Amino acid sequence: MRLVVVALSLAATAAFADDALDARLKALEGELRCLVCQNQTLAESEAPLAADLRKEVRELAQAGKSDDDIRTYLVARYGDFVLFDPPFKASTYVLWIGPFAVLLLGGAGVALFLRRRAQDPARARELNPDEQSRVARLLHDKADGTEGGA
């Protein structure tokens, strides 16, 4: 009887440990990016590579590695891109500042275009003497009702 109680106790402890491990891994996988999908977390992705990475993360966790150890290992292997929220440092400036820089440059280009357009809407220029005489002839012919021209 005592053996049955110990066995049930160990089974309950193992089930609790598995639930805790699963919750820990789910949280950790939510912080990691799928290297194939790129816009999904490792937990969300159904790509075969994501399944392999989830398996690797589980093995590392079962081997006693902390979450920070696992993140460090994956960053060393795949770079900061594997983190869904990469740190702000020299090698990731482009990831953090790039979208804002593109938006800023695009806005500046639109503003410059609109400013030039407002200053010179028709892009009018002076006619040279040949063009002036041709316009005068066309207007004169139109006023006379004749359709001749140069």
Phi, psi of 99 (to 5 degrees): -60, -40
In the chain, pLDDT over 90 holds for what percent of residues? 23
Rounded Cα distance between 29 and 48, Å, is 15
pLDDT digits (tens, 9 = 90+) for 29-70: 888 888 888 788 888 888 898 889 999 999 999 998 999 999
The answer to whether residue 118 scores a pLDDT higher than 60 is: yes
Rounded Cα distance between 149 and 135, Å, is 10
The answer to whether residue 104 scores a pLDDT higher than 90 is: yes
The answer to whether position 140 is within a domain reads no
In this structure, of 5-9, 36-40, 88-92, the range with the lowest mean pLDDT score is: 5-9
The answer to whether position 120 is within a domain reads no
| pLDDT for residue 147 | 60
Bridge partners, residue 83, by sequence: 32
The answer to whether position 116 is within a domain reads no
Residues 6+ apart with CB under 8 A from 34: 40, 41, 42, 44, 45, 47, 49, 50, 53
The answer to whether position 38 is within a domain reads yes
The answer to whether position 118 is within a domain reads no
Coil, strand, or helix at residue 33?
Answer: strand
CATH code of 14's domain:
1.10.8.640
How many domains does the chain contain in total? 1
The answer to whether residue 105 scores a pLDDT higher than 80 is: yes
The answer to whether position 54 is within a domain reads yes
Range of the domain at 77: 2-87
Phi, psi of 41 (to 5 degrees): -75, 165
The answer to whether position 82 is within a domain reads yes
pTM: 0.51
Greater pLDDT, 39 or 123 = 39
What is the pLDDT averaged over residues 120-143?
80
Rounded Cα distance between 80 and 92, Å, is 8
| pLDDT for residue 3 | 57
CA distance between the termini of the chain: 119
The answer to whether position 132 is within a domain reads no
